Amino acid sequence: MVILIASIVVFIASLVALTILIRIRWNDNKKSSGWGKKGFYLLPLSLLSFLILIFGMFSKVNANEVGIIYHDKYGILDEVKYEGFQRKSIFEHITTISTTNKTKFLEVYAQTKDSINAQFEITITYKVESKNAGKFYKAVGDKKISDEQLNTLIKESLQSISTAYDIFQIMGGELDEVRSKVADSLEIKLNERYHITLVSLSIDDVDAGARVESIIQEKAEAIQKIEIAERDQQRATIEAQTELLRAKNKAEVDIAIAKGKAEADELLNAVAVNAILKMYNSQFETEALKADFEDNNKGGYLKIQEVGEIVVKQLYYDVWDGKLPTVVTDGSGIIIQP
C-alpha cells in the first residue's frame, strides 16, 4: 500500500509540475524564460511512478529463510515465499524468517519430589519449519521467539517431570530418563503453542546446593566402602574354608601319589574342581543372586576364575614345587592345566 501511494503521489506531482511549466510562454524576444524548456525535463519524472510500482512487485528471500506474507486486506497468509526473487502483489509485505537450527542456553529452577528447588542448566536446539512459518509469526508476533517465552515453556515441562523424582534420583542414575521425558513434553508444547520443532534438549548441570551435593558424595563413598568390605570378607571366607580343606586334600594327595602319578593328578584335579565350585557357589545366598551376577556382573562377588586362582594357590603350591597350574573355564566346566 505504501508503494502504491508513493507512486501515485510522484505521478500526480510530475504531471502538475509539467503542466505549469509548459504553459509558461515565450517572451516578446522569442527567448525562453528558462523554466519552459526545463519543464520538458520533468517528463521522465512521471515514468518514475511506474518504476516504483514495478519495484514493489518483487521481493528477495535469502538462503535458509522463508518469507511471511502480510496482505493489507487479509492479514498474515498461510502461504509463504521461498528462497530467491519472488513476485508479489503491491498489497503484500514480505517479512523473512530464518529456518536454520537455533541453540539457546537457559538456566531454569524447578522443584523436586523431596521439595528441593534445584537449578537446571539446559541447552535446546530448535527450528521453524517452512510450512509452519506463518503460524509461528502469528503466535509469536515477531521474527524470533523470545528467551522469556522459551523459559516459560521449559519451566512448565521441567516442573511437570521433576516433581516425580527426588534430587538424588535426578543427580544419580535417572538423569537421562528425566531429560528424555522433559524433551518429549517440551516438543509437544513448542509445537502446539508456537509451531516450533524441537531438535534436541540436554541437561548440562543440576545445582541443588552445597549441602545436597555433599550428601550425595558421602553416600557414594559409603557405598564404595561397603562393596570393598563385602569383597574382602568374601575373599577371607574362601581362604579360611580353603585352609580347612588343605589338610584333607594333602592326605588324599599322598594316597594318590602312592597309587601312581597319573591317578594322583586326576584325583587332585577332581578335588580342586570340586573345591572351586563349592567355594564359588557359597558366595551366593540364592540362585537369583548368582544368575544376576553372572549375567549383569552385579553384587561385587568373586568370579569363578578368581576363586580358582585362590584355591589353586593354596592347594597346589607345595605339590607343584612352587609352580602353579593354570585354571581355565569353558562351556563344559573347569579345566586345570599343569
Rounded distance between C-alpha atoms, residue 167 and residue 203, angstroms = 14
Residue 149 resides in a domain: yes
Are 325 and 220 contained in the same domain? Answer: yes
Highest mean pLDDT among 9-18, 97-106, 254-263 belongs to 97-106
Place of cell 540362585: 287
Are 218 and 311 contained in the same domain? Answer: yes
Residue 112 resides in a domain: yes
Domain that includes residue 204, residue range? 102-208
Can you tell me the mean pLDDT for 304-310?
Answer: 75
Residue 87 resides in a domain: no
Rounded distance between C-alpha atoms, residue 294 and residue 303, angstroms = 8
**Are 130 and 79 within 8 A, CB to CB?**
no
Are 127 and 48 contained in the same domain? Answer: no
Per-residue confidence (pLDDT) for residue 300, from 0 to 100: 74
Are 328 and 251 contained in the same domain? Answer: yes
**Are 298 and 292 within 8 A, CB to CB?**
yes
pLDDT tens column, 28-69 = 444 444 444 554 555 565 555 555 555 556 677 777 788 877
pLDDT band at 274 (very low <50, low <70, confident <90, very high): confident
Domains identified in the chain, total number:
3
Q: For residue 137, what is its C-alpha cell?
A: 509469526
Rounded distance between C-alpha atoms, residue 14 and residue 44, angstroms = 9
Per-residue confidence (pLDDT) for residue 287, from 0 to 100: 80
Indicate if the pLDDT at residue 197 is higher than 70.
yes
Per-residue confidence (pLDDT) for residue 184, from 0 to 100: 95
Amino acid identity for residue 251 in this structure: A
pLDDT tens column, 143-166 = 889 999 999 999 999 999 999 998
DSSP string, 61-102: E-TTEEEEEEETTTEEEEEEE-SEEEE--TTEEEEEEE-S-E
Rounded distance between C-alpha atoms, residue 145 and residue 123, angstroms = 15
Can you tell me the mean pLDDT for 185-204?
Answer: 94
Are 219 and 317 contained in the same domain? Answer: yes
The count of other CB atoms within 10 Å of the CB of residue 128 is 25
Are 226 and 333 contained in the same domain? Answer: yes
Place of cell 584333607: 248
Rounded distance between C-alpha atoms, residue 248 and residue 266, angstroms = 16
Q: For residue 329, what is its C-alpha cell?
A: 573355564
Indicate if the pLDDT at residue 105 is higher than 90.
yes
Can you tell me the mean pLDDT for 304-311?
Answer: 75
Per-residue confidence (pLDDT) for residue 36, from 0 to 100: 47
pLDDT tens column, 224-263 = 666 666 776 777 777 767 777 776 767 676 766 666 565 6
Per-residue confidence (pLDDT) for residue 27, from 0 to 100: 41
Can you tell me the mean pLDDT for 61-82?
Answer: 75
Strand, coil or helix: 228:
helix
- Provide the sign of the torsion angle of the four alpha carbons 289, 292, 298, 302, taken in this order: positive
DSSP string, 240-253: HHHHHHHHHHHHHH
Residue 69 resides in a domain: no
Are 245 and 151 contained in the same domain? Answer: no
Average pLDDT, the chain: 73
How are beta strands 84-87 and 117-127 bridged, if at all?
unpaired
| Cα radius of gyration rounded to whole Å, the chain | 43
Are 185 and 224 contained in the same domain? Answer: no
Can you tell me the mean pLDDT for 182-207?
Answer: 94
Tell me the CATH number at 153: 3.30.479.30
What's the DSSP call for residue 33?
A: -
Are 113 and 158 contained in the same domain? Answer: yes
Task: Flag the least confident range among 29-33, 161-165, 286-290, 328-332.
Answer: 29-33
Per-residue confidence (pLDDT) for residue 278, from 0 to 100: 80
Per-residue confidence (pLDDT) for residue 62, from 0 to 100: 75
Are 243 and 331 contained in the same domain? Answer: yes
Angle between helices 43-55 and 2-22 (to 10 degrees): 170
**Are 189 and 156 within 8 A, CB to CB?**
yes
Rounded distance between C-alpha atoms, residue 301 and residue 232, angstroms = 10
**In 22-47, which positions are buried (b, 16+ CB within 10 angstroms) versus exposed (e)?**
eeeeeeeeeeeeeebeebeebeeebe
**Are 75 and 92 within 8 A, CB to CB?**
no
- Which spans in the chain are helix H? 2-22, 35-40, 43-55, 133-140, 147-162, 167-170, 175-194, 210-259, 261-281, 287-296, 304-316
Per-residue confidence (pLDDT) for residue 202, from 0 to 100: 94
